[in-house]
């Protein structure tokens, strides 16, 4: 949610930002906000004047009562009562207008950074840089579900019976490998100075509305029936929500945290749920990183965070590239975002494994996260980035470390979490 002062002072900038995001249907909302805001301020000014008048009349009543001028005092009391009734009407109208303005403001997109490329959708995202050689071996690489099946590590048939399509059982070395990757990602971020946290896996509706747009929520979140609780789609949501309505001292910043959670997603949309594999599923595990900082530090942290992801994946022998998200691919709260994509030697293309974003003060405005500064309070900036999402990271690791004999080399950093095991050998071919 942007600052309403920006709409008051520079509505054309807000409209141009909407055009950059190819959401022209929202252009009229800017004028609507201006109209409602003008009416709101007029009502507020009238109410303020009446409250000020009430104070002066109350003093006059006291003076008249002392002078025993009861009739004049009663006339003024009647005027005060009438003013109070009008004030109550104005306050109710103010409350209604304020709620209407906020509702509209919640769907006006955040101002994107000037460096973000203009484009309609993810097909117009821009490659920034590649890290590691994107090699294709001289032997055929099976589909990742078949690699896992060769280790007796994946059971989607049973998951279909218990839970339906989009779920899975990871078994034996497959499950152990995912746990090893999550543990390594956790320790990797701790060694970068981030504080480890296991957050709530359900959050209330006001937190959901604070961290994401309604469209995102509708496409992603599972709601608990009969309760004001949602299963998290990523621990960023509960981690940022942790600071709701808090005032943070400047000397306590930046706050850098890494969190573990299972993640639950409806995955509504054009992509659909994968039938055989685990690339797009309803449930997975994730290590996340979040930063809360001063506005002037947010872009520096943004660059640090995506670099952490690159470093982690390269340590697992996985080539990656960074992709700048264009305006049309940015969620409405985001200022700037990039995807980290891993190389798939089987498909001979890259696929998304991480997403790093700075949201400016949009989440902080919605959730009331402020910084206590020398010259007063101001809104914090929030950032988030995937450290490692279990299923997609597992696919990347399997494909890039697969050997011709069907075994998978376990990268050195993971071996301590695998009891010293250096490779996984097929149990069937």
Tens of pLDDT, residue by residue over 300-332, are 999 999 999 999 999 999 999 999 999 999 999
Q: According to the model, what pLDDT value does residue 276 have? A: 83
User: Whole-model pTM?
Assistant: 0.89
Q: Report the distance separating Cα 185 and Cα 179, nearest Å.
A: 10
Residues of the chain where predicted confidence (pLDDT) is lower than 50: 270
pLDDT at 428: 64
Which among 180, 182, 418, 167 has a CA at the least distance from the CA of 286? 182
Query: Which tokens is 205 given?
Result: 């509706």
Q: Are 265 and 233 in contact (CB under 8 A)?
A: yes
39 φ/ψ angles, rounded to the nearest 5 degrees: -65, -40
Distance CA 389, CA 356 (A): 13
Please choose, from the candidates 354, 343, 320, 109, the residue with its C-alpha nearest in 3D space to the C-alpha of residue 234. 354
Q: Are strands 202-203 and 320-324 parallel, antiparallel or unpaired?
A: unpaired
Please report the pLDDT score of residue 226 as a whole number.
Answer: 95
Contacts 24+ apart (CB under 8 A), 100-103: 100/36, 101/4, 101/33, 101/36, 101/37, 101/40, 102/1
**In the CATH scheme, what is the homologous superfamily, with its name and number, of domain 122-424?**
Bira Bifunctional Protein; Domain 2 (3.30.930.10)
Q: Which residues contact 405 (CB under 8 A, 6 or more apart)?
A: 426
CA pair distance 314, 321, nearest whole angstrom: 10
Burial class (CB in 10 A: 0-12, 13-18, 19+), 226: exposed
What per-residue confidence (pLDDT) applies to 81? Answer: 80
What tokens were used for 220? 């992603």
List the domain boundaries for the chain.
Answer: 4-105, 122-424
Tokens matching residue 362: 């949009």
The rounded Cα 167 to chain-centroid distance in angstroms is 24
Contacts of 92 (CB under 8 A, 6+ apart): none
Residue 426's pLDDT is: 94
Is 1.10.287.40 the CATH classification of the domain at 4-105? yes
Q: Could you give the CA distance from residue 352 to residue 279 in angstroms, rounded to a whole number? A: 10
Q: Token pair for residue 317?
A: 């022998």
Instruction: Give residue 335's pLDDT.
Output: 97
């Amino acid at each position: 949610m942007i600052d309403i002062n920006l709409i008051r002072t520079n509505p054309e900038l807000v409209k141009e930002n909407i055009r950059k995001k190819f959401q022209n249907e929202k252009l009229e909302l800017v004028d609507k906000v201006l109209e409602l805001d003008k009416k709101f301020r007029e009502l507020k000014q009238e109410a303020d004047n009446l409250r000020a008048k009430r104070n002066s009349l109350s003093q006059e009543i006291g003076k008249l009562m002392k002078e025993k001028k009861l009739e004049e005092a009663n006339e003024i009391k009647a005027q005060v009562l009438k003013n109070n009734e009008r004030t109550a009407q104005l306050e109710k109208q103010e409350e209604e207008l304020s709620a209407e303005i906020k509702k509209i403001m919640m769907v006006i997109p955040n101002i994107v950074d000037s460096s973000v490329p203009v484009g309609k959708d993810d097909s117009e995202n821009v490659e920034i840089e590649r890290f590691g050689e994107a090699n294709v071996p001289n032997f055929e690489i099976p589909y990742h579900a078949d690699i896992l099946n060769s280790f007796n590590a994946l059971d989607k048939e049973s998951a279909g019976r218990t839970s339906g399509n989009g779920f899975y059982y990871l078994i034996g070395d497959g499950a152990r490998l995912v746990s090893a990757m999550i543990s390594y990602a956790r320790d990797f971020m701790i060694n970068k100075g981030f504080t480890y946290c296991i957050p709530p896996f359900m959050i209330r509706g006001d937190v959901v509305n604070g961290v994401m747009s309604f469209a995102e929520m509708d496409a992603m979140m599972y709601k608990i029936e009969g309760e004001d609780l949602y299963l998290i789609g990523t621990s960023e949501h509960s981690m940022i929500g942790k600071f709701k309505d808090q005032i943070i001292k400047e000397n306590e910043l930046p706050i850098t945290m890494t969190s573990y959670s299972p993640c639950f997603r409806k995955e509504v949309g054009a992509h659909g749920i994968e039938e055989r594999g685990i690339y797009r599923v309803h449930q997975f595990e994730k290590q996340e990183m979040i930063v809360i900082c001063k506005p002037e530090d947010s872009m520096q942290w943004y660059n640090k965070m995506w670099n952490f992801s690159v470093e982690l994946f390269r340590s697992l022998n996985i080539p990656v590239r960074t992709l700048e998200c264009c305006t049309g691919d940015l969620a409405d709260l985001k200022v700037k975002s990039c995807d980290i994509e891993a190389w798939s030697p089987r498909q001979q293309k890259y696929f998304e494994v991480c997403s790093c974003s700075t949201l400016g003060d949009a989440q902080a405005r919605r959730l009331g996260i402020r910084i206590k500064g020398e010259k007063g309070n101001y809104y914090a900036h929030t950032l988030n980035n995937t450290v490692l999402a279990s299923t997609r990271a597992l696919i990347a690791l399997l494909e890039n470390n697969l050997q011709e004999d069907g075994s998978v080399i376990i990268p050195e950093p993971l071996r301590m979490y695998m009891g010293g095991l250096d490779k996984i050998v097929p149990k069937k071919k």
